Every structure is written in C-alpha cells, then in structure tokens.
Structure 1
Amino acid sequence: MTDVLLRNHVNILGTGSRTIMFAHGFGCDQDMWRYIVPGFEANYRIVLFDYVGSGKSSLNDYNPCKYSDLQGYAQDVLDIMEALDLNDVIFVGHSVSSMIGMLASIQAQSYFDHIVMLGPSPRYINDLPDYYGGFDKSDIEELLNMMQMNFAGWASYLAPIVMRNPERRELTEELERSFCSRDPHIARQFAEVTFMSDCRASLPDASIPTLILQCSEDSIAPVEVGNYLHNHLKNSTLRLMTAKGHYPHLSHPEETIQFIKEYLANVQ
C-alpha cells in the first residue's frame, strides 16, 4: 500500500474525523490548494496528492497506456482511498479532476459522500447545436500542436488567458511556472486526454450529491457548461462565483472556502 502513497506523493493534514480529498487540475499539483487547506484543517482530515506526472509524483510510474484516458487517473484516486482505508470522503476536484472524481465515484460509490466540482466540464469541445463546450476541435488541436512545437511558448500564452486576473501578475507567473515544470511529453498527453474527453454519457450514472462551483468569465469552462452539467447531473447544486478565471482557489480562496463550507453545512 505504501507504494501508492509514494507514487502519488500523498500528504495528510488536519485532525478532523471527516475526510476531504483535494484533487488538482491539469498542469498543477497539490500545492495549488495551499490557500484553501487552512480553512478546513481544524475540522477535517485533509488528503492531498499529485497525479502521476505532476508535482512530486513518481515519474517512473507513468504509463502512457494507462493514462490514455481519464479512467486511469480515476483508478489512482480509488487506489489512494483504498490505501488509506477511507470512506464517505468529500472529494474536491478542480477542472478535469471534477470528472475524474465523478468517474471514480461511479466505480466505487462507498468511498464518496459528496463531490465539489470547481470549474468542471464534461466536454470541452462544442457539439453544436446541442452542446456548447467553449472550444472548436481545431482550437484544441492548435493548442496541442503548440505544446509539441514550443512548450514554453504554450505555457506563457495560455497562463494569462486561463488565470484571467491581469492585475495580479504573480498568479499568472506562478501558473506559467507550474506548466513549465511538467515533463512536456506527459503534459501534452494529459492535455490531450483532458481536452478531448467526453464524459456526458457518464452523467446519468453519477449519483453522489455534488456542488458545482461555476466561475465567471471562465475561458476553459464557460457558464453554459455549468448549466448543462447541473441540468444533467442528479443531486447537483450550482453556485455562480464572482471569481473570474479558472483558478478561484488561487485568485479568490476566501470565496471558494465560503461556498464549500456553506454547502457542507447545509447537507450534513
């Protein structure tokens, strides 16, 4: 069991009897939750981890075949929960981790009590006229080509667009550094798996009560996506944040903490 905890660089904080697991998004790592953790560690046991290929995870455990779809990452979430003998977890997933957590909950409901989705999207590519995801397929292909041709250029191009807090340059610079610190080949595959994924068919199978936190002016997951998800995900609650961009846990941690705490207070 120990190898799973090393593989995903698992860290446990807090003293509470209930467990919150925070799962980072693409191009990030568990350190991105550092402004959120203090709001919960007095009352919860907190589990932090890095996906294989991110942060301080074991790069030797990266398997391109396993991680060729989101189910490989969902299995890692379940591996960590099993290794720590967890149950009734509050799973907080940012961006693609929202869908990873949902897929894991479909496989093994008993591990999950509630899911909090921060900037989620079940499908990034438009499927018009029935679905607006925010991107044409050619947009994603161009992004992936840029990653392959000029990884540093891709990072500096994308970071300000997705952070969307121009007056706080330090946040954009941190995100750019986070992008650049990844292995380019692993990052590109994770990007392709993320942005080409389509989890819409799995939504009817998800039953864990879920909070959807929809950011304003989110270039990755526009408000239409949040509304779609809320309409197709049973037991879901949708809250619109004043936070702009795709990383409210960095740019607006107080609001993020407040929404999560209010939701948990009402459901427990």
Structure 2
Amino acid sequence: MDVQSRNNVVVTGRPDGPVVMLAHGFGCDQNMWRLVVPALAEDHRVVLFDYVGSGRSDLSAWSRERYSSLEGYARDVLEICRELDLREVAFVGHSVSAMVGALAGVTEPERFAKLVMIGPSPRYTDDGDYRGGFSGADIEELLESLDSNYLGWSAAMAPVIMGNPERPELGQELTNSFCATDPDIARVFARTTFLSDSRADLVKVRTPTLVLECSQDVIAPRGVGAFVQASIPGSRLVTLDATGHCPQLSAPDATSRAILSFLGDSR
C-alpha cells in the first residue's frame, strides 16, 4: 500500500530545509497544526500526516490488532520516514503522539535529530507515588461513557480538554474533530491512549528532547511534565503561558516560538 496515500501525507515549507514532522493526538488530524505551520515552514520542510483511522487517512488500512498498541502508531511514523527517506527529523508530537515519537526514536534513533513533546503523559492513571492525574475509576468511567455514547462524550469532554472556556470556538473545533472520527476506531484509540504505560520507555530516549507543558492542563498536569523531563536524560522542560491541552490552537505563537527556539532558529 502507498504509505503517503494511506496516511494522507502532506509536505510543505522549504524543500531543502531541515525536516520537522508534526504528529497529532487522539481524535484529531493534521489540521490541528495549521496555526503553527506557517512559522515552521519559513525555514523547514514540514511533514504532516494523519494516523490510520484519523482525518483523511485510508480507513481500509486500519486494524484493531495493529492500533491497539502505541507501537502500531509508531510503525506509521517510521514507515512514513522510510517512504520519504527522512533523516535528521525533528519530531513534534502532541499528547499521545509524544509517546509515539519516543517509541519511534528508540526503535530507529538514527532517523531523529530532536524530539518535541507537547502535553505528554506516559501514564494517565495514578500509580503509587506517580500522579498521572486520573484514578483508575476515573479512566474506567471515561471509557465506559465513550463506549456508550461517543458523540455525547465528545461534546462533553472536548471543551474540558481544550480548556479556555472564554473562547468556546476552540472547544467546538475539538468537538467537531472528535465527532468526525469513526466511533469504533475512536474507542480503540482511546483505550490505547488512556490505558498505556510508557514510563519505562522514557529512560531509553537518547534524542535531544524538549518537553512543552501548559500552565494548566487537566489531561497532563504540571507534575507529569516534570516526571517526563526527569526521566529523559538531558531533556528540557518549558512551561508555556497557556492553558488547556492544545496550545498549538490556543497559543500558536508561543508554541511556535518554543519549538523554533529548541530547533535552533535564530529568531
């Protein structure tokens, strides 16, 4: 199967520039990056894509077996890199894609030059001294609600995840994105996301890493960002003056500046 068609790969920006690959989170697609792409594209070759099952990807390529683990999504990333012969990639992963990027980088470290993790969480459920932000009962309730009424769950949860209640259009955009996803595929992706535990993988990351967190984020609280930074050798933690879980939409300028600064842009 043609990987570029399968994952709706779009390449923009400076053709001979260093590569930046943008990876979306659960319930989203590459359109979520549209406000940061112009700044990145001035000096970089920007690669956008949709995971199989999301956006305008080829839904016929989706399988429950493959996408019931984060490794299945990491395979999407690596197959795109091989197809386009991408090397020295700066991978920018939002939410669950931060962990997908970590897995891809551990599997084929020679392909990645830098890793940017936006709102990462290696485990959403509390575990002993580790505080992921949710109890086991919280996650089970969330998944049961999603299973029983996906559209209702999306309408209720998307504005909470987005934050910024004074800007309801942002919550509505995320709601629309969630609702555009096939419910059966979304249920599998949600379980893959919210039941994963990637803490042991963080210590294996050797790619220079920036952890970007928001000052308030109900999905990835501040303590989680600190945990990720402490677990990845030599990584850097930056707290954006932004709220919610999607700063690429709510604070695109600050997000772009942080990414470009880490990539070495003189501006």
Shorter-chain TM band? over 0.9
Once superposed, which parts of structure 1, at least 4 consecutive aligned residues long, lie more than 4 Å away? Answer: none
Letter aligned with residue 88 of structure 2 = D
Counterpart of 1:118 in structure 2 is 118
Write the distance in 2 (CA, Å) between the matches of 1:146 and 1:262. Answer: 40
Counterpart of 1:100 in structure 2 is 100
Q: In the TM superposition, what are the counterparts of 1:1-268 in structure 2 within 5 Å? A: 3-15=2-14, 16-128=16-128, 130-265=129-264
- Tell me if structure 2 keeps the 8 A contact 1:208–1:235: no
Letter aligned with residue 228 of structure 1 = F
TM-score normalised over the length of structure 2:
0.97
Tell me how many residue pairs correspond in the alignment. 265
Letter aligned with residue 85 of structure 1 = D
Letter aligned with residue 96 of structure 2 = V
Write the distance in 1 (CA, Å) between the matches of 2:240 and 2:35. Answer: 17
Corresponding residue SS for 1:75: helix
Write the distance in 2 (CA, Å) between the matches of 1:42 and 1:240. Answer: 25
- Tell me if structure 2 keeps the 8 A contact 1:133–1:225: yes
Write the distance in 2 (CA, Å) between the matches of 1:19 and 1:261. Answer: 12
Aligned identity (percent) is: 50
Corresponding residue SS for 1:40: helix
- Cα RMSD, aligned residues only: 1.1
TM-score normalised over the length of structure 1:
0.97
Write the distance in 2 (CA, Å) between the matches of 1:177 and 1:17. Answer: 33
- Deviation digits for residues 221-245 of structure 1, max 9, x if unmatched? 0000001111111121000111100
Write the distance in 1 (CA, Å) between the matches of 2:85 and 2:99. Answer: 22
- Deviation digits for residues 211-267 of structure 1, max 9, x if unmatched? 000111100000000011111111210001111000000000000011111122279
Instruction: Give the 3 Å change call, closer, same or farther, for CA 266–236 of structure 1 in structure 2.
Output: farther
Unmatched segments (≥5 aa) in structure 2: none
